[in-house]
Amino acid sequence: MTDLLTPVLCENWGTEKSWKLSAYLLSGGFSAAKKALKLAPADVVGIVKDAGLRGRGGAGFPTGLKWSFVPQDNPNPKYLVVNADESEPGTCKDMPLLLASPHTLLEGIVISSYAINCHTAFVYVRGEVVHVARRLQAAVAELHEAGWLGKNIQGSGFDLDIVIHSGAGAYICGEETALLDSLEGRRGQPRLRPPFPAVAGLYASPTVINNVESISTVPSIIKNGAEWFAGMGTEKSNGFTFYSLSGHVKRPGQFEAPLGITFRQLLELSGGMRDSHELKFWTPGGSSTPILTPEHLDVPLDYEGMASVGSMLGTKAMQVFDETTSVVRTTLRWSEFYKHESCGKCTPCREGTWWLVQLLRRLEAGEGQEGDVDKLLAVTEDINGLSFCALAGGAVACVTSAVRHFRPEFELGYTTPAWESFPYERSAVFIKDRPDGQSEGGRV
Amino acid sequence: MSDIVASDLVTLTIDGIEVSVPKGTTIIRAAESIGIAIPRFCDHPLLDPRGSCRQCLVEIPDAGNGRGFPVPQTSCTMPVAPGMVVQTAASSEKAKRAQNGIMELLLINHPLDCPICDKGGECPLQNQALLAGRGESRFDAKKRRFPKPTSINGQLLLDRERCVLCARCTRFAQEIADDPYIALVERGALQQVGRVGEGPLRSYYLGNVVQICPVGAFTAKSYRFESRPFDLVSTDTTCEHCASGCSLRVDRRHGTVRRRLAGNNPSVNEEWNCDKGRFCFVYGRGADRLTHPLIRENGSLRPASWPEALAAAAAGLSKAEKSVGVLTGGRLTTENAYAYSKFARAVLGTNSIDFRSRPFSVEETDFLAAEVAGKEVGVSYGDLENASQVVLVGIEPEDESPMILLRLIKAVRKRGLKVVLVDFINTYGSKKLKARWIQCRPGEEAKALAQVELDEKSVILVGERAALSAGTLSAVAKLSAEAGASWAWIPRRAGDFGAVQAGCLPNVLPGGRPVTQSAARVDVAAAWEVDSLPGEIGLDAAAILAAAAEGDLAALVTAGIDPRDFADSHIARAALEQAFVVSLEPRLSQAASLADVVLPVALIEEQSGSFLNWEGRQSVVNQVVKGSVPSDLRVLSALADELGSPLGLKDAAAAAAELGELGVWEGSRAALSAVGEKQPGEGLILGSWRELFDAGSGADGEESLQTESFYPTAVMNPKTAAGHGFENGDRLVVSGPRGSITVPLLVYPDIVEDVIWASFNARGLPSHGEIGVVIGEPVNVGKEEAKV
Amino acid sequence: MSGKEFQTYFPHSGRIDEANTSTEIDEKTIAELEEIVARYPQPRSAVLPMLHLVQSVDGRVSPRGLEVIAELAGITPAQVSGVATFYTMYRKHPAGKHHIGICVTALCAVMGGDILYDKVSEHLGVGDGETTADGSFSLERIECNAACDFAPVMMVNWEFLDNMTPEKATQILDDLAVGRPVKPNRGATLTSFKENERVLAGFNDGRADEGVSAGEPSLLGLSIAKERGWAAPKPGAAPKEEAPEAKEGSGK
């Protein structure tokens, strides 16, 4: 039986200067890449396929299958683009991984590039985290020095360069085709599909776009085998992944566990809710996944489990809110996020979020009018499924699920401001510093 | 459709109706083909699909594979599939609800200012809101607001509040004109169309965005608050500004043209035109418009009655006997040109007629007679798209035939057409075509052209200035004949091609008949019911002017000419001063003001007829408004009557019929003799062409667009500039034997060494003819003396 | 209580500040911009990092910057403007020496981000998008910065200042104001907005080795696993039969 937590990617995060190549090599780094370079590229694809690794960026598309779509007879160069534009509210796993162990990703890139015959790979990293860019850039330089990048890496005959590309503030660039447009120096707006990136992506060439965590998982699969990976998790959701807990829990943080762990188990590991407070609602995978309530504590956190309760696994980012929290306020703030991040390309998202925010604002202020909650739902219906990309779907998911679970609280907005029903200062958690400058683990 | 075989057809069902369309067709187009209209904003048949407004959502219960889509799909992006089942709002509640919803969302931030919006009454948003929208909006929150219209260029106003962000305008700018000077800026609810900086934008095409904007976001200053669409009367006609041959829709109200739109003509201009064609239509409204004849008395012109003026003209021409030259210019319809051709031969008894009011060569005269007059053009717009390569020789399509550039951009973009440029400069326009540039100095084009490998699907386009590069026109004909390639001569003015066919040349009669062949003359004489026609080649335009200036030619009959345009403007002016001149002009032009008798004639918008564009395609000119003066043809008829030798042409239709009946010459022609190349002179050589917006009188009165023209400049390559001690921005004095122009220098890498490009005919500056140089000749260049 | 008013009128949108033509872009900058272009298969790909470099020089996207980038990328200034105004990190007006971002997305807002923002705004005397008169600080309401387990989050020059409190924040601002060194929780000692923009343009400042590997929350699962002796199975060990406990019905 597999243990409740299975640290693999984070295993070396606590080591001295874990971000350095020397430290990474000491913890067994690049043994997987060495192994992969001796295999035929198609065999590497095969192993990842057999492992059943599914994309960890939210959509859960099988990674090996994605790779196998790259037409190798296409005369254009093939590209690998790593999506490190982590911006989904609640999601906070890729940035710590890249800070602590950028080489895990880079080793994954070496292997994945080899598998798809790519000689220039890009890491599109969100711009608002300078230190991550610094560490990635330095790590790439170390690899060039060490002969793991450049021409004929490690004498394998395989050439590879990695470009670290900093974004500039746009959630939508997490959408893979918007990311490609952005990487081409354009406005990050999603592209029509088809053609799919695997056929005509970056510079209209075959391109694979994978999340940081997906590519970072590849070395462990190559090193330990597909069976090892598939041996963890549930029937259709193989392997381990990061679960991120934030919000009103005693100890927020990252948990690397096999797929299928439950929220109850994770909540226990994080010490439960802050003292004298109880769980009100939570997101399973970022703000784009429909919110859940205490009744969903025991649903397995895998693709199928979440689908069974009308939500999604998403990025496995659990934002946890206790009973002090106004769900109207929270929903409004998510809607404001989507309005702020809507790229503007399509009508439902651009105009719909404009409307939703105004409706929610008056409900928050207790100035809602009779029928506003139904109107809110009606507007979501005019957005949902009709937009160009999935962003708008996320924008309405939080609204519809919140109304589904907490309709009376929204209707309270016809008469009473949310800050009166739920005084906002009661939700705030400011923790004191310990004398050593570190934050206290426990919370008020 | 004819070359589509059955296996390329896909059969699907839309709203229960089975339809077969070519593979790759989008659902929205397939629906259109059976008369089912699906509302849309971002979709435009000539722009790449975008799928962003989401208005065209349809339900697809079966994608052709037995499975349906769970949510409505955009019919503008989805290609048809065999067996697909589509339900539009007409048959699907789901599609209808989706369309209703999108419409409501489009309207929440749209101002309710239809009553004061120029688009009101012809607005796709307004129309489709009535068809696909709810009666009442549920939106009771705050609308997004921007400052009211901002000026985008001399003509365009942008009202961002009205914009539905369909991006047709920015896609037009990018995909069709490759002038991405407007772009989507900001994002989300703030997304808007924007530009950078102020002042003119370097584009001749952006006026099209007013027409394709599906709301009133883009409006034109010249049409602002001018009319309501339902108060306008529309006439289809053809643009008079160049030989592209664009179809136009001209809208008038109260007898005045209010605006012009690009006509829909897939084989010529598709649905586009240039800003000159769109906005330059007020040139006839100035104080110089002639409404009655003038005759010279005691040195100055005075109003006269028609009988008096015709008598005076006839007297002068009779006195000159056959010592008359006829200069017709480029503004004439084919019918009017034919009338001049017939008038010269049958009434005046001379072959001294020439339409070319520009520098030219004897080689060109022979070339036009041997290769153009009475011959089919082997190239069409469609052929440009399907060519293996297009070779541009001595032509800048953006300035000289703007629709050719658009067609080439399309072919380059859609199917990677190879373009070869044989020229002394690789301009911004040529760069849009990613052309391979074969560099040569002006005059060396023939030699450079020989380096191009031609095949049967190659097309050579050769412009009017090739006439000045000895050997080039004959090389085009010879090299393409050898390779089996096609070529086309691209004249610049709307009337040029028709003038060649009508015989407005000293060496050919209508239909390409050589004047020196008696069989040809007999043909025409019989048709014209005259005893005989002059059998000697007449004087060409330059010779006419020279002879008149010297007093060797007694009289001139002139139509649309301007002394500025000729190789030597001083000789032209002297000729007009010296000879007895009868000038037929709509306006008191410089030529008319030097005439002895001025006979007013109708504007193009006041008459009917046709033009032949560079393809040789006939396009109809319809009368749009009523004028008070007759056409050239009618005036010539009256003058012929006065001369006692009737022209026999009742109206334009009669002229067209007679020209048609004459047909083309099938007999032998003088072979085009190979012309040797002339070495360009030493020193700094002049290269240039006429820009679209220059001093040409067709743009008179459209002040807004004068600011859009490219600034008058001189252009030199960095090495040449440095060699002369010039720097970018220096004001240079470019001089020829008779004068100079002072213009700022643009140092530009892609122009060959020791060549200077200088504005040919910039507004407010002397023309090359006035300076006394033609391209290929050396000029003197110095820095302007600093003013104290 | 949800921060700023709902804005509906946008008089100054659509352009960078073209009236302010000042620039420090020189030959060296242009050489570095060319260096960025050389990193990519196609020059236009360099637009984002070039804009970062322009900000590292001019503190904002300057008209000169727009022009130079357009030239090097082979596109029009309008197209560069389309890009520069799309991304929130590109500024129309100069940033302060230090650029302060307070996360106000739902979770941080609820956890105290709103209170924090109000306090910092009051302390600096500027609002969203504004810069202090002395040019020391600019303030921005930012959206989720991928550090939710450290909420509420403040960013200074896009370095993490985790688990922020109003008291800590004001102290940090005061320290920065007088030039006292401030270390972010996970990152390199704070320098300036401009210097960090240089890093984002791809010019590493050699300070990757500053700071910690990971914050405490990042290591939480790992430390619990270590405490309890939990680990991923060894390769070749028995495959999953019963996956983690309490997983009835969904395991194999």
DSSP letters along A247-286, please?
Answer: ESBSS-EEEEEETT-BHHHHHHHTTSBSTT--EEEEESSS
- Using CA atoms, how far apart are residues C60 and C92, in angstroms rounded to an integer? 6
Question: What confidence score (pLDDT) does residue B282 get?
Answer: 96
Question: What confidence score (pLDDT) does residue B5 get?
Answer: 63
Contact between B182 and C78 using a beta-carbon 8 Å cutoff: yes
Contact between B188 and A386 using a beta-carbon 8 Å cutoff: no
Distance from CA of C119 to the nearest CA of A (A): 13
The number of beta carbons lying within 10 Å of the beta carbon of residue B191 is 26
> What kind and span of H or E run contains B85?
strand B85-87
Enter the tokens of residue B423.
Answer: 């020229």
Closest among A86, A43, A77, A392 to A214, alpha carbons compared: A86
- HSE (side-chain half, CA atoms, 13 Å) at A42: 2
Contact between C10 and B195 using a beta-carbon 8 Å cutoff: no
| Residue B21 DSSP SS3 | strand
Residue located via tokens 């202020």 = A365
Enter the tokens of residue A291.
Answer: 């919110």
Strands (E) in B366-435, as ranges, are 389-393, 418-423
| Burial classification of residue A73, based on how many CB atoms lie within 10 Å of its CB (0-12 exposed, 13-18 middle, 19 or more buried) | exposed
Contact between C85 and B146 using a beta-carbon 8 Å cutoff: no
The number of beta carbons lying within 10 Å of the beta carbon of residue B668 is 10
Would you call B428 an interface residue with chain C, using a CB distance cutoff of 8 Å?
Answer: no
Question: What confidence score (pLDDT) does residue C243 get?
Answer: 45
Question: What confidence score (pLDDT) does residue B2 get?
Answer: 47
Contact between A232 and C39 using a beta-carbon 8 Å cutoff: no
- Using CA atoms, how far apart are residues C250 and A236, in angstroms rounded to an integer? 9
Closest among A218, A206, A32 to A116, alpha carbons compared: A206
Phi, then psi, of A149 in degrees rounded to 5: -135, 160
Distance from CA of B172 to the nearest CA of C (A): 14
Question: What confidence score (pLDDT) does residue B707 get?
Answer: 56
Would you call B147 an interface residue with chain C, using a CB distance cutoff of 8 Å?
Answer: yes
Looking at the predicted structure, is the pLDDT value of residue C1 above 70?
no
Chain length of chain C: 252
B181 near C64, Cβ under 8 Å? no
Would you call A187 an interface residue with chain B, using a CB distance cutoff of 8 Å?
Answer: yes
Contact between A185 and C47 using a beta-carbon 8 Å cutoff: yes
- Using CA atoms, how far apart are residues B119 and B105, in angstroms rounded to an integer? 20
Residue located via tokens 């020391």 = C136
Q: Where are the alpha helices (DSSP H) in B242-295?
A: 275-279
- For B698-727, how does the pLDDT look when each residue is reduced to its tens digit (9 = 90+)? 999 987 776 555 567 899 999 999 999 999
Distance from CA of C213 to the nearest CA of A (A): 4
Please list, in sequence order, all residues whose beta carbon lies within 8 angstroms of the beta carbon of residue B746, skipping any fewer than 6 positions away: B713, B714, B715, B716, B728
- For B588-632, how does the pLDDT look when each residue is reduced to its tens digit (9 = 90+)? 999 999 999 999 999 999 999 999 999 999 999 999 999 999 999
- For B265-315, how does the pLDDT look when each residue is reduced to its tens digit (9 = 90+)? 999 999 999 999 999 999 999 999 999 999 999 999 999 999 999 999 999
- Using CA atoms, how far apart are residues C240 and B58, in angstroms rounded to an integer? 46
- Using CA atoms, how far apart are residues C87 and C85, in angstroms rounded to an integer? 6
- Using CA atoms, how far apart are residues B583 and B591, in angstroms rounded to an integer? 7
- Using CA atoms, how far apart are residues B248 and B252, in angstroms rounded to an integer? 13
Question: What confidence score (pLDDT) does residue B3 get?
Answer: 55
Domain range annotation of chain C? 1-94, 98-191
Please list, in sequence order, all residues whose beta carbon lies within 8 angstroms of the beta carbon of residue B198, skipping any fewer than 6 positions away: none
Enter the tokens of residue B173.
Answer: 């700018």
Model confidence pTM above 0.90: yes
Phi, then psi, of B436 in degrees rounded to 5: -75, 125
> What kind and span of H or E run contains C55?
helix C47-58
Q: What is the DSSP code (8-state) at residue B600?
A: E
Q: A380 contacts in B (CB within 8 Å)?
A: none
Q: B178 contacts in C (CB within 8 Å)?
A: none
Strands (E) in B162-312, as ranges, are 183-185, 192-194, 218-220, 233-238, 247-253, 256-262, 294-297, 300-303
Residue located via tokens 């566990």 = A257
Looking at the predicted structure, is the pLDDT value of residue C149 above 70?
yes
- Using CA atoms, how far apart are residues A89 and A283, in angstroms rounded to an integer? 10
- The closest CB to that of C76, out of B142, B181, B190, belongs to B181
To the nearest 10°, report the CA torsion of A145, A151, A157, A158. 90
Contact between C241 and A19 using a beta-carbon 8 Å cutoff: no
B16 near A349, Cβ under 8 Å? no
Would you call C236 an interface residue with chain A, using a CB distance cutoff of 8 Å?
Answer: yes
Of the listed ranges B253-267, B413-427, B703-717, C102-116, the one predicted with least confidence: B703-717
Locate the chain A residue with the closest alpha carbon to B56: A386
Contact between B192 and C79 using a beta-carbon 8 Å cutoff: no
Chain-centre distance of CA B386, in angstroms?
22
Distance from CA of B771 to the nearest CA of A (A): 48
Structure ipTM: 0.96
Enter the tokens of residue A183.
Answer: 């990487």
- For C31-42, how does the pLDDT look when each residue is reduced to its tens digit (9 = 90+)? 999 999 999 999
Angle at B251 between CA B247 and CA B256, to 5 degrees: 125
Phi, then psi, of B139 in degrees rounded to 5: -75, 120
Q: What is the mean pLDDT of residues B443-466?
A: 96
Chain-centre distance of CA B746, in angstroms?
27
Q: B104 contacts in A (CB within 8 Å)?
A: 382
Give me the amino acid identity at B420: V
Enter the tokens of residue B433.
Answer: 């075509």
- The closest CB to that of A169, out of C88, C206, C229, belongs to C88
Q: What is the mean pLDDT of residues C56-72?
A: 98
Best residue of A346, A349, A363, A376 to probe chain B, by most B CBs closer than 10 Å: A346
- For B198-215, how does the pLDDT look when each residue is reduced to its tens digit (9 = 90+)? 888 889 999 999 999 999
- Using CA atoms, how far apart are residues A227 and A225, in angstroms rounded to an integer? 5
Sign of CA dihedral A312, A316, A320, A325: negative
Chain length of chain B: 788
Closest among A403, A396, A320, A326 to A365, alpha carbons compared: A326
| Residue A139 DSSP SS3 | helix
- Using CA atoms, how far apart are residues C133 and B126, in angstroms rounded to an integer? 48
Closest among B511, B508, B406 to B178, alpha carbons compared: B406
Contact between C45 and A184 using a beta-carbon 8 Å cutoff: yes
Q: How confident is the model at residue B763 (pLDDT cuts 50, 70, 90)?
A: confident
- Distance of CA B656 to CAs A217, B618, B650, Å? 79, 11, 11
Enter the tokens of residue C104.
Answer: 């106000």
Closest among B559, B546, B139 to B336, alpha carbons compared: B559
For chain B, which chains pass the contact test of at least 3 CB pairs under 8 Å? A, C
β-bridge pairing B755-758 and B685-687: parallel
B747 near B721, Cβ under 8 Å? yes
β-bridge pairing B486-490 and B458-463: parallel
Enter the tokens of residue B768.
Answer: 């090359």
Chain-centre distance of CA B348, in angstroms?
33
- Using CA atoms, how far apart are residues A328 and A333, in angstroms rounded to an integer? 9
Chain length of chain A: 444
Question: pLDDT above 90 covers what percent of chain B?
Answer: 91
Would you call C7 an interface residue with chain B, using a CB distance cutoff of 8 Å?
Answer: no
C238 near A14, Cβ under 8 Å? no
Q: How many CB pairs under 8 A join A and C?
A: 387
Question: What confidence score (pLDDT) does residue B199 get?
Answer: 84
- Using CA atoms, how far apart are residues B472 and B393, in angstroms rounded to an integer? 8
Question: What confidence score (pLDDT) does residue B760 get?
Answer: 83
Question: What confidence score (pLDDT) does residue B766 get?
Answer: 93
- Using CA atoms, how far apart are residues A226 and A50, in angstroms rounded to an integer? 6
Best residue of C5, C6, C8 to probe chain B, by most B CBs closer than 10 Å: C8
The number of beta carbons lying within 10 Å of the beta carbon of residue B48 is 12
Average pLDDT, chain B: 95
**CATH number given to C98-191:** 3.40.30.10
Q: How confident is the model at residue C240 (pLDDT cuts 50, 70, 90)?
A: low
Q: How many CB pairs under 8 A join B and C?
A: 64
Q: How confident is the model at residue B146 (pLDDT cuts 50, 70, 90)?
A: very high
Q: C80 contacts in B (CB within 8 Å)?
A: 196
Residues 132-191 of C with CB under 8 A from A: 142-152, 155, 157-160, 162-166, 168, 184-188
Q: How confident is the model at residue B141 (pLDDT cuts 50, 70, 90)?
A: very high
Looking at the predicted structure, is the pLDDT value of residue C252 above 70?
no
Domains C1-94 and C98-191 share a fold: no
Q: Which residue ranges of chain A lie beneath pLDDT 70?
A: 1, 432-444
Give me the amino acid identity at C41: P
Question: What confidence score (pLDDT) does residue B671 get?
Answer: 82
- For B57-79, how does the pLDDT look when each residue is reduced to its tens digit (9 = 90+)? 999 999 999 999 999 999 999 99
Q: Which residue has the higher pLDDT, A57 or C75?
A: C75
Residues 156-175 of A with CB under 8 A from B: 170
DSSP letters along B91-115, please?
Answer: T-HHHHHHHHHHHHHHHHTS-S-GG
**C1-94 placed in CATH 1.10.10.1590:** yes
Contact between B189 and A351 using a beta-carbon 8 Å cutoff: yes
Q: How confident is the model at residue B683 (pLDDT cuts 50, 70, 90)?
A: confident
Would you call B160 an interface residue with chain C, using a CB distance cutoff of 8 Å?
Answer: yes
Q: What is the mean pLDDT of residues C10-34?
A: 97
For chain A, which chains pass the contact test of at least 3 CB pairs under 8 Å? B, C
- The closest CB to that of C106, out of A258, A317, A330, belongs to A330
- For C155-211, how does the pLDDT look when each residue is reduced to its tens digit (9 = 90+)? 999 999 999 999 999 999 999 999 999 999 999 999 999 999 999 999 999 999 999
Please list, in sequence order, all residues whose beta carbon lies within 8 angstroms of the beta carbon of residue A365, skipping any fewer than 6 positions away: A413, A417, A418
Contact between C246 and A100 using a beta-carbon 8 Å cutoff: no
Looking at the predicted structure, is the pLDDT value of residue B38 above 70?
yes
Contact between C86 and B190 using a beta-carbon 8 Å cutoff: no
Q: B180 contacts in C (CB within 8 Å)?
A: 75-76, 78-79
Strands (E) in B475-612, as ranges, are 486-490, 508-509, 513-514, 555-560, 580-585, 597-600, 609-612
A380 near A396, Cβ under 8 Å? yes
SS3 content of chain B, % helix, strand, coil (to 5): 30, 20, 45
Q: What is the mean pLDDT of residues B540-555?
A: 98
HEC per residue, A133-187: HHHHHHHHHHHHHCCCCECCHHHCCCCEEEEEEECCCCHHHHCHHHHHHHHCCCC
Contact between C243 and A439 using a beta-carbon 8 Å cutoff: no
Question: What confidence score (pLDDT) does residue C249 get?
Answer: 39
C144 near A88, Cβ under 8 Å? yes
